[in-house]
Chain A
């Protein structure tokens, strides 16, 4: 124990010892400098303070802050250096802001997070805007996740973006995009080049969509009179 503190009756004796040993600052100063509780004990105090600053700034700006905390904790779990953790958090904070600007202020937090991730994968902010326009009320998370996955698997960003945009434009639902991703991943795993895999499977998905909607992909129309694509 860091010194027994003053000996005397009552729990106050224990408290005095503790306060003298562990809390030299005044209460308000302590509160202002206190790191986010999720970080205390996981990060060195200096890093926790830096990250907490970023978290508070994000909160003040109305941006999602949990991804910042999560990134810091992930870095801690991976044994990353303090520098690296702080850099990662700051980078993400910037991307969250850009994503929100591109997707619109009324986007859901998870959309902003997905948007930030897609920006990391090289998506153009214009593409984010187009996606938003195609799905003004519906979540854009899945299209962005699929985009990100394609790029990680070495599909050039522009091809990945076109694939996702084209299908979304054609009315693809989240399940369709998920299925597409699985097939592309499988094909690449089986040895297809990423570009070929995406091209082939996107075409296939477009045809399926059209068949479901009862129209050719080119016409974009629907209805019983439209020609069926074999």
Chain B
């Protein structure tokens, strides 16, 4: 048993180390930022332990962290569900199975839209669209049974989007209108989010 776990752990460690090296750009941005930061000063050693960075672990921190990480597929314990129902604003409409015009409501120019895709065989699903820069990692969906879901705030207007399954397969929303533009060899879905001043 321990031997199998060692193999798996070693495999993970190898894969982890193989993840792509970060772009030099990130490093350059850091160095650029540091250039504008006042240089550090030595403090009296005797008090160093008092002033060291503290790990803040208030009882609330764990719950908040778990709440915040729901969007990236963290399993939610039963005790947090009620918290989530309160914390996540309910969409004005029923879940947009796709293509449904999300009605206006409230003064804000954004609506929280719930994306749903039934994909029982998937291990990972995300939504990509013009509201998140088509970033496959931008809006990871959470699995509930056979369905995957995420709620994303989207500004009013016409939006195009798609789902990315298992990181590589782009699928349109089966319940939504299709967009005629397919310049990248792929059929997107369309969603219309109404704002306060439209009918």
Residues of A within 8 A of B (CB): 1, 9-12, 14-15, 17-18, 22, 38, 41-42, 66-67, 70-71, 73-78, 80, 84, 87-88, 91-92, 108-110, 113-114, 117-118, 120-121, 138-139, 141-142, 145-146, 148-149, 151-153, 173-175, 178, 181-182, 185
Contact = CB atoms under 8 A, between A and B. Distances in A.
A101 B136 CA distance: 35
A148 B28 CA distance: 45
A117 B128 CA distance: 19
Contacts of A77: 128, 134-136
A145 B158 contact: yes
A138 B25 CA distance: 46
Interface of chain A, main secondary structure: helix
B67 to A, nearest CB: 28
B130 A181 contact: no
B187 interface: yes
Given A70-B134, A149-B190, A151-B180, A78 B170 contact: yes
A78 B184 contact: yes
B133 A11 contact: no
A145 B160 CA distance: 11
Contact of A71 (B36, B175, B183, B199): B183
B65 interface: no
A14 B134 CA distance: 35
Contacts of A146: 177
Question: Contact residue range for chain B?
Answer: 35 or more
A175 B101 contact: yes
Nearest to B23: A41
A50 B63 CA distance: 46
A121 B134 CA distance: 23
A84 B36 CA distance: 40
Contacts of B184: 74-75, 78, 80, 84, 88
B130 A70 contact: yes
B134 A73 contact: yes
B179 A11 contact: no
Contacts of B27: 1
25 contacts: A11-B35, A11-B36, A11-B37, A15-B36, A22-B28, A38-B133, A66-B130, A70-B130, A73-B134, A74-B130, A77-B136, A78-B134, A78-B184, A88-B183, A88-B184, A110-B158, A110-B192, A117-B181, A141-B157, A142-B101, A148-B180, A173-B199, A174-B101, A174-B199, A181-B177
A153 B174 CA distance: 13
Interface of B: 23, 25, 27-28, 31-32, 34-39, 99-101, 128, 130, 133-136, 156-158, 160, 170, 175, 177-181, 183-187, 190, 192, 198-199
A141 B192 CA distance: 8
- Give 10 closest A-B pairs by Cβ, nearest first: A15-B35, A110-B157, A121-B180, A149-B177, A70-B130, A77-B134, A88-B183, A152-B178, A78-B184, A148-B180
Contacts of B134: 70, 73-74, 76-78
Nearest to A182: B99
Contacts of A38: 133
B124 to A, nearest CB: 16
Given A117-B180, A118-B180, 20 more contacts: A12-B35, A14-B31, A18-B28, A38-B133, A41-B25, A70-B130, A74-B130, A88-B183, A91-B183, A110-B158, A113-B157, A121-B180, A138-B198, A139-B198, A142-B192, A145-B190, A148-B179, A149-B190, A152-B180, A173-B199
